[in-house]
Amino acid sequence: SEHQHICIGCGVKVQTEHPNELGYAPHSALEKETIICQRCFRLKHYNEVQDVSLTDDDFLRILNEIGKTDALIVMIVDIFDFNGSWLPGIHRFVGQNKVLLVGNKVDLLPKSVKPNKLILWMKQESKKLGLLPEEVFLVSAAKGMYIKETAAAIDEYRNGKDVYVVGCTNVGKSTFINRIIKEVTGEGDVITTSHFPGTTLDIIKIPLDDGKSLIDSPGIINHHQMAHFVDKRDLKVITPKKEIKPKVFQLNEGQTLFFGGLARFDYVSGGRRSFVCYVSNEVNIHRTKTENASELYENHVGEMLTPPRQEQLETFPALVKQEFTVREAKTDIVFSGLGWITVNEPGAKVIAYVPKGVQTMIRKSLI
């Protein structure tokens, strides 16, 4: 209909087409006297936030609003995909506000990883990206690890102010907030969403005990993540569910690794050496000679080299390459959203291939 419905919870325009996007409500909700979007409904009735995504422009608008407020900002990143899940430009939007950086999904990293070293690494990377967080935390929202400590720090740093939680989709923002809600309110407390007449905030406020709020903002989709190029069913394959078991490959020059059909890694020069692969345990790694690699890919992508699936091949982007020279010991070659390969000794020349649109990069080793 021509009539525009507005959610009384968050002020967003209500739509009935896209369940994972902002403002979704089922048709039946429109018949009610007061209309509430599904995200606010879930918070109100189940004390649970749900992840929804936004277009880039809308997201920038929200970040802008956040910059103008006086609040604590909690930014969540996925530690398994640190750079891929970074909010581009966040440093320009935080304004004078303090930021706490939370690295989620720490349960995925091998037990050998030292948390303090990783936190230091995160601080250095943040600085390079222009952000100086007050503190950095490693948590597992799914497993409930270090939530108490993080909740306590949020309460300390907010200093009586509102708290904005930001992050791109899939970093585990909803899981994190839901944990925090339980931590802050205890189970059973009913949370209500509040109404802001005349404004479209697209954010939902979760009341804290001093009248301030924990504010959930929608996530932004990072278009260069591998997740957007795989079938929904294959997301389970590339997204690690438990502790990653690093796989070590001794390679000679002129050897190639395929990660399913999603990525390819050529070892060009640097003598026989080992490469440590950190990808989901379910991703199939196939070794071959570089001279045969292109032909192998053409003949077997979609079957032996999968994902992608056969039926996706028509739309699946071609692999594009980027060459890297490893100049320092302990360097990672990163395939955004899929994982990384650690090179322990300097002096290697490698080529990384990913579907056109996905990012590859080189960084100081995270582990």
**Binding positions for ligand GDP, rule: CB under 6 A:** 51, 104-105, 107-108, 140-143, 167, 169-175, 219
**CA 129 – CA 336 distance, rounded (Å):** 16
Between 319 and 366, whose beta carbon lies closer to ligand GDP?
366
| Residue whose pair of structure tokens reads 């996530």 in the numeric block | 219
Closest distance of CB 239 from ligand GDP, Å: 6
SS3 category, 252: coil
CA angle 83/84/88 to nearest 5° reads 75
**Residue 8, number of CB atoms within 10 A of its CB:** 19
Closest distance of CB 42 from ligand GDP, Å: 12
The phi, psi pair for 98, rounded to 5°, reads -80, 150
- Contact partners, residue 196, CB within 8 Å, separation at least 6: 10, 11
Closest distance of CB 263 from ligand GDP, Å: 21
Helix axes 173-185, 147-158, angle to 10 degrees: 80
Between 170 and 306, whose beta carbon lies closer to ligand GDP?
170
Closest distance of CB 223 from ligand GDP, Å: 15
Between 219 and 337, whose beta carbon lies closer to ligand GDP?
219
Between 282 and 328, whose beta carbon lies closer to ligand GDP?
282
Between 169 and 359, whose beta carbon lies closer to ligand GDP?
169
**Residue 253, number of CB atoms within 10 A of its CB:** 15
Between 103 and 133, whose beta carbon lies closer to ligand GDP?
103
**CA 175 – CA 170 distance, rounded (Å):** 10
Closest distance of CB 336 from ligand GDP, Å: 16
Tell me how far the alpha carbon of residue 28 is from its chain's centroid.
Answer: 33
Between 20 and 250, whose beta carbon lies closer to ligand GDP?
20
Closest distance of CB 132 from ligand GDP, Å: 23
Task: Please count the CA atoms within 13 angstroms of the CA of 311 that sit on its side-chain side.
Answer: 3
Closest distance of CB 143 from ligand GDP, Å: 6
- Structure token pair of residue 268: 């060009």
**CA 21 – CA 39 distance, rounded (Å):** 10
Per the CB < 8 A criterion, the answer to whether 183 and 155 are in contact is: no
